[in-house]
Chains A and B, each alone.
Chain A
Amino acid sequence: MNPFQTLSRKLSILFGRKRFRDELDEEMAFHRAQAEKEFVAAGMTAEAARYAAIRQFGNSTQLRERSHAVVGFSFETMVLDLRFALRQLRKNPGFALTAILILALGMSASVAIFAFVDAALIKPLPYANPTRLMDVTESLALFPRGNLSYADYVDWKRMNTVFSSLAGYTGDGFALTTPTGTEPVPGERVAVEFLRTLGVVPVLGRDFHPGEDVPGASPVVMLNYRTWMRRYGGRPDVVGKAVNLSGVAYTIVGVLPENFQFAFRDNAEFWAPQQPTNECEKRRSCHNMYAVGRLKDGVTVAAAAADMKSIAQQLERQFPDSNRGQGASVMPLADAMVGDIRPILLVLLGGAGLLLFIACVNVSSLLLVRAESRRREIAVRGALGASRSRLIWQFVTEGLALVAAGTAMGLMLADAGMQVLTRLISKDMMIGMPYLRGLGLNFHVLLFAGLLAVLAAILFAVTPIFHMAFSNMRDGLTDGGRAAASTLWRRMGANLVVIELATAVVLLTGAGLLGKSLYKLLHLDLGFQTDHLATINIALPDALFSKDAQVVAFARQVVQRVESLPGVQSAALTSLLPVSCNCNTDWVRFVGRPYNGIHNEVNEREVSAGFFATLHTKLLRGRYFTDEDDASKPNVVMINEAFARKYFPGEDPVGKQIGDTQLTPRSIRRIVGVIDDFKDASLDQEQWPAEYQPFNQSPDTYISMIIRTTQDEQAVLPTLAKAIHQVSLQAAVEEGATMTQRINDSETAYIHRSAAFLVGGFAVLALMLGVVGLYGVIAYSVSQRTREIGVRMALGAQRSSVYQLVLREAGRLILIGVVVGIAGSIGAAMLMGKLLFGVHAWDAGTLAGVVVVLSVSALMASYFPARRAASVNPTVALRAE
C-alpha cells in the first residue's frame, strides 16, 4: 500500500474532521435503525427494540473514538490529552506550581553542578591528543608533586626513552613599562619545544626556534592572546616589535591562540624561552620548575613512571648531596591540572543527584495524592468508555507537562546558579581553572538535562501505571477497595520523609554553623583598626635597585609622597601585610641563654617607622621604631605580646638581645618595644610569636604599603599608583585594595564563604523537599482515611480531635526526623571541625534555630491536609461507602 496515499487520506480526514464524524454518526445511526427494524419484525415492541439495538451496538462514543484512532494521527490524541492535562494543572495551580518548582530546583542543582563537572572532568584539554600528555615532576616524601631542578631536567631529557618530547616550564614575573607607569606582569619561561609538545601552534608569527633557550641567544617572547588584544589592540604588525621587560629588550615573535589555556599559569602574559640564567637554575639542589612530556606511541603511564624513577635513582647515586630522596612523578596532565577539585565536584554531583531523586520521588508522591483524589473521575471516565491505556496515557501526559515546565525552569535556574557558583570562586583560584571560562548551558549540559528529564518522565509515567494496575478501577466508583499498594506506599513514603527531614536538619545545621563561623571570622577582633585602611603592593626591579641604600631612599620618599596626598593621614611599609599567614618565619636564639638547638619559630616582618601607629595598635612596653633606625645604627627589633609571653615569661623583654641560631654577630638585635598582638596570620590561624625589624635595617625590593585615610579608603586607591610613579617610574605597582576587601577576599574567608553558601543552598533545597515530601505523605494518608474520619465524626469526634489525629501522625514523623537529624548533624559538624570557627559542633543556638525552622515549616505543610480532614462531611464520607 502506498504510504503516501494513506497520509493524504489521513490529512484530508484531519482537515475534514467534522464531515468524517458526521458521516460516521449517520452510518452508525443507520445501522441501529436497521437492527431495530429487525427486532420489531421479530415481534418486539418498538421501545424494547430500540433499547435492544442500542445495547447490541454498544458504546457509540467509544466506537467512534476507535474508528477515529484508526484514521487519526496519534499526535491528535496527544494534543487533546495535553490540553486536558494543562487544564487540569491550571485548575489546581497549587499542586502544579509546587511540583514544577520542586522539579526545577532539583534539576537546576544537578545541571549547574554537572556543568562544572563537564568543564573540569569531561571536556578534553585543548591540546593535540591530550591523553598522551604527562605531568612530569620530581617527588619527595612530603611533596608528591615537587619542583624539578634544571640540572635534573636536562639529564631526564637526555636519558629518558619514554617521551617523544619533554618540555620544562617555570613561572616568572616581569616589570613591564607602560605609558602609565611600570606594572608587574605575570610571565612564563618555557622550553623551546613547549608548544610543540602540547601540539599548540601560534595564531600569529612563529614558534620558538631551537637554540633560543641557550644563554646569550637574543631574547624573544610570545604574547598571550588576551595580552595581544588588551595591550596591542590585536594589531598584526606586533610581530617583530620590541618590548622592554624588567629592563631587557625582547623581540615579539608570535601570539598564542585565543583558546590556549595552561591551568598552572593561565594568567602569564609573556612567554619566553627558558634560558638557565638565574641563580637557582645553576644549582642542582635548587628546584624551581616543572615539565610536561608527550608519551611515545605504545608507552603506558606506568612504564613512563618506572623509567623516570630509575633515572632519578641513578642521579641520586651520582649526586648524593643534592638528590637525596628525589624521586620522580609521572601522571596524566589532565589529572595534575584538575587536581583536588575532582573529589569535591563528584561529591557535589552525588549530593545534587540525590536531591534530584528525592525531588522526583516527592513529585510522584504528589501525583499519587492527586490520582487518589481523582479516583471517582477516573472511574466515571472508565465507565463512559475510556480505555485503561487511554487513562494511563492521560496521567503520563500530565507528568510530561510537569517535566517539561520543570526542566525549562530548571535550566534557567541552573544558568543563574552557575553564575553564582562562578562568582564564589576567587580571582586567584579562577586563574588555576581556565577550563571554567565560558561555562554555560552548552550542548553537553543540555544533553544531560534532557537525560534527567527523560528519567523523571519515566518515573512519573510509571507511578500512576503502578497505582492503576494495583487498584481496581470499578472500586473507584464506590470508593471501596483499598489496594495493598497504598499501604505499601504510605509506609515507604513515611520512611522517606523521615530521611528527607533528617537530611534537611543536617544540612541546615551545617549551613547555620558555617554561617556563624563566617560571621565570627569576619567580625574577629584583629588587634588593629581595619576600616579606613588602604593597601598596595610595589615591586622594585632588582636590576635597578641592587643597593639597600637605593631601596631605603625610595621607601622614605614614597611614604612622604603618599602622606602628602589629600585624605591620607599616614602611610607605612611592611614586607608582608597583616592577615596574610603564619609564614615568612625566622628561627631565633637568645643571647645569654643556653641553646639546645631547637627551632624557635616566629613570624618575621620588616616594617617602617610609622607602621604600628598607622595600624592603630597598642604599644605595651618600650618604644616604636623611628626613621633613624637604619643601617648606621645598632640593630633593633620589636616583638609582639605572644613572643614576650612565650619566651620572656615574668621578665621584661625590653633590652634583651636575640640573634639567629648561630648568634652570628650581625644578626644580634636588641628588643626595644613590645606591641599588642594583632593578626599577622590568616583569619582562622592561631596567634604566633612575631618579631618586627626596621625596614631601614633590612630593606626588600618587594614592598607592601598601608595607608590610613581620613576619608573613604576606596577613594584614595586610584591616586596611589600615580604618586608612587612620581617617586620612581621603574617601580611596578599592583592594583591596590582596601584592607576590608583583602580580608573579605582572603582564601580563608573565601573557603568559609563558599562552604556556607553551598551547604546553605543545599540546605534550602533539602528543607523544601522535606516539607513537600511530608505534605505528600500526610495528604495521601488523609485521602486514604477519609471514610475512617467520617466514621469517627459520625460517632461524635470533634473537629479538633481530627486535627490532632492528623497532626499527631505528622508530628511523629517530624520528631523522628529531627532526632535522627540532630544526631547526624553533630556527627557531621565534628567532621567539618576544620571549617568551624568560634562555634562548637553542638552549638545550642544553631540547633534550636534549625529545630524551630524545620518544625514550623513541617507543621505548616501538614496543616493543610489536616484542615481538609477536619472539614470532611461525615454524611458524604459515609455515603461514599
Chain B
Amino acid sequence: MAKKPDLLPGTLDMLILKTLTRAPLHGYGIALSIKRLSDEVLTVEEGSLYPALQRLLLQGWVKAEWKMTETNRRARFYTLTAAGRKQLGIELTQFEQMIAAIGRVLQDAEV
C-alpha cells in the first residue's frame, strides 16, 4: 500500500470543525468528507478520529446526538457549537499565519 502524506500535526481538529460547518455528520461521514474534499489526498485514520472527537466533545466545541441515517441506521451525529465556530476561526488564523511563514522561508531558500 502506497504511503499517503500524513496530516500536518495539529490540523485534524481544524479539519473536523471545518467539515462540520456545512452540516452535522457522523464519524464515518467526517472521514469520508475529508477524503473526498481533499481529492483522496488526506486520509483520517480511525485511530485518531474517535479520540479527536472525544476531545472536541470534552472541550464543548461539538455536540453529539443519536439520529437515524437515510438508510435507517442509528448513528451519532456531531454538530458544531458556537464555541466550536469561534475556535475554528482561531485555528484558521493561526494556520494561515503558519503557512504564510513557511512559504516565506521556502521562497527565500530558493533565491
With A1-B83, A70-B51: A34-B28 Cβ-Cβ less than 8 Å: yes
With A5-B60, A58-B46: A27-B76 Cβ-Cβ less than 8 Å: yes
In the assembled complex, A28 has its CB within 8 A of some CB on chain B: yes
- Chain A residues, Cβ within 8 Å of B27: 27-28, 30-31
CA distance A6 to B57 in the complex (A): 9
Which residue from chain B places its CB closest to the CB of A30 in the assembled complex?
B75
- Chain B residues, Cβ within 8 Å of A5: 60
Which residue from chain B places its CB closest to the CB of A65 in the assembled complex?
B51
Partner of B28, one of A2, A23, A31, A62: A31
With A27-B76, A56-B46: A67-B54 Cβ-Cβ less than 8 Å: yes
A58 lies within 8 A of B45 (CB): yes
In the assembled complex, A33 has its CB within 8 A of some CB on chain B: yes
Which residue from chain B places its CB closest to the CB of A56 in the assembled complex?
B46
Which residue from chain B places its CB closest to the CB of A59 in the assembled complex?
B47
Partner of A31, one of B46, B58, B59, B60: B46
Of the listed residues A31, A56, A71, the one surrounded by the most CB atoms of chain B closer than 10 A to its CB is A31
Which residue from chain B places its CB closest to the CB of A71 in the assembled complex?
B54
CA distance A9 to B60 in the complex (A): 9
In the assembled complex, A26 has its CB within 8 A of some CB on chain B: yes
- Chain B residues, Cβ within 8 Å of A57: 46
In the assembled complex, A35 has its CB within 8 A of some CB on chain B: yes
A66 lies within 8 A of B83 (CB): no
A9 lies within 8 A of B58 (CB): yes
B77 to chain A, nearest CB (A): 10
With A34-B28, A67-B54, A70-B51: A2-B60 Cβ-Cβ less than 8 Å: yes
In the assembled complex, B73 has its CB within 8 A of some CB on chain A: yes
A30 lies within 8 A of B46 (CB): no
- Chain A residues, Cβ within 8 Å of B50: 24, 27-28, 63, 66-67
A10 lies within 8 A of B75 (CB): no
- Chain A residues, Cβ within 8 Å of B58: 6, 9-10, 70-71
CA distance A366 to B19 in the complex (A): 54
CA distance A67 to B51 in the complex (A): 4
Which residue from chain A places its CB closest to the CB of B50 in the assembled complex?
A67
Within 8 A of B (CB), among A29-84: 30-31, 33-35, 56-59, 62-63, 66-67, 69-71
In the assembled complex, B74 has its CB within 8 A of some CB on chain A: yes
With A31-B27, A34-B28: A63-B47 Cβ-Cβ less than 8 Å: yes
Partner of B26, one of A24, A30, A58, A59: A30
B44 to chain A, nearest CB (A): 11
- Chain A residues, Cβ within 8 Å of B83: 1
- Chain A residues, Cβ within 8 Å of B51: 63, 66-67, 69-70
B59 lies within 8 A of A30 (CB): no
CA distance A62 to B45 in the complex (A): 13
Partner of B47, one of A27, A33, A58: A58
A69 to chain B, nearest CB (A): 7
Which residue from chain A places its CB closest to the CB of B87 in the assembled complex?
A1
A1 lies within 8 A of B59 (CB): yes
- Chain B residues, Cβ within 8 Å of A6: 58-60
- Chain B residues, Cβ within 8 Å of A24: 50
Partner of B60, one of A1, A59, A62, A66: A1
CA distance A58 to B48 in the complex (A): 11
CA distance A308 to B28 in the complex (A): 92
Which residue from chain B places its CB closest to the CB of A58 in the assembled complex?
B47
Which residue from chain A places its CB closest to the CB of B29 in the assembled complex?
A34
A70 lies within 8 A of B54 (CB): yes
Which residue from chain B places its CB closest to the CB of A34 in the assembled complex?
B28
CA distance A1 to B86 in the complex (A): 11
B97 to chain A, nearest CB (A): 22
CA distance A58 to B31 in the complex (A): 15
- Chain B residues, Cβ within 8 Å of A62: 47
A35 lies within 8 A of B28 (CB): yes
Which residue from chain A places its CB closest to the CB of B66 in the assembled complex?
A23
- Chain A residues, Cβ within 8 Å of B26: 27, 30-31
Interface membership of chain B positions 69-102, coded 1 if the CB is closer than 8 angstroms to chain A and 0 otherwise: 0000111100000010000000000000000000
CA distance A28 to B76 in the complex (A): 10
- Chain A residues, Cβ within 8 Å of B74: 26, 30
- Chain B residues, Cβ within 8 Å of A66: 47, 50-51
CA distance A275 to B60 in the complex (A): 86
B28 lies within 8 A of A30 (CB): yes
Which residue from chain B places its CB closest to the CB of A38 in the assembled complex?
B32
- Chain B residues, Cβ within 8 Å of A71: 54, 57-58
Interface membership of chain B positions 26-56, coded 1 if the CB is closer than 8 angstroms to chain A and 0 otherwise: 1110010000000000000111001100110
CA distance A67 to B27 in the complex (A): 13
CA distance A70 to B54 in the complex (A): 7
Partner of A23, one of B55, B60, B76: B76
B36 to chain A, nearest CB (A): 12
A504 to chain B, nearest CB (A): 54
CA distance A2 to B83 in the complex (A): 11
Of the listed residues B46, B74, B83, the one surrounded by the most CB atoms of chain A closer than 10 A to its CB is B46
B73 lies within 8 A of A70 (CB): no
* Extra contacts besides A9-B57, A9-B60 (15): CB < 8 Å: A1-B60, A6-B58, A9-B58, A26-B76, A27-B50, A28-B46, A28-B50, A30-B28, A30-B76, A35-B28, A58-B46, A63-B50, A63-B51, A67-B50, A70-B54
CB-defined A-B contacts under 8 Å, sample of 8: A6-B58, A6-B60, A30-B26, A30-B28, A30-B74, A34-B28, A58-B46, A66-B51
6 closest A-B pairs by CB: A34-B28, A70-B54, A31-B28, A66-B51, A67-B51, A67-B54
